[in-house]
Amino acid sequence: MALQDESLDGVFAALGDATRRGVITRLGRGPASVGDLARDVPMALPSFLKHIRTLEATDLIRTTKAGRVRTCELNRARLALVTGWLDEQRQLWDERTDRLEQFVTDPEENP
């Protein structure tokens, strides 16, 4: 469980930046070259490459190189880690709000 928590921490940290979320959103439509991705971002290429490396380090994206072109692709399986955690949290809070609703609406059940 600790390893999964560390992985989740890294993924959330990577997704905590608007530039990296923008890259993830764009790659959700399909693979793109680093150059194409950088064109939409108002920063120097070396700074943008740090964001790409962060996404690679957390395995949210994968890159391949063909000649001088580096292409990025979204690792959808890695995003499932976030989806799974969010689903668990949603279920937990749904159960809690259901119990609260029952408590508030059914006074006979409560001492």
User: In the chain, what are the domain boundaries?
Assistant: 2-109
Mean pLDDT to the nearest integer, 82-107: 76
42 by DSSP, 3-state: which? coil
User: So what's the architecture of 2-109 in CATH?
Assistant: Orthogonal Bundle (1.10)
| pLDDT tens-digit series, residues 43-68 | 999 999 999 999 999 999 999 999 99
Write out the two tokens for 106. Answer: 């059914």
* Euclidean distance between CA atoms 73 and 33, whole angstroms: 9
Average pLDDT score over residue span 3-28: 87
d(CA 108, CA 111): 7
pLDDT bin (cut points 50, 70, 90) of residue 84 is confident
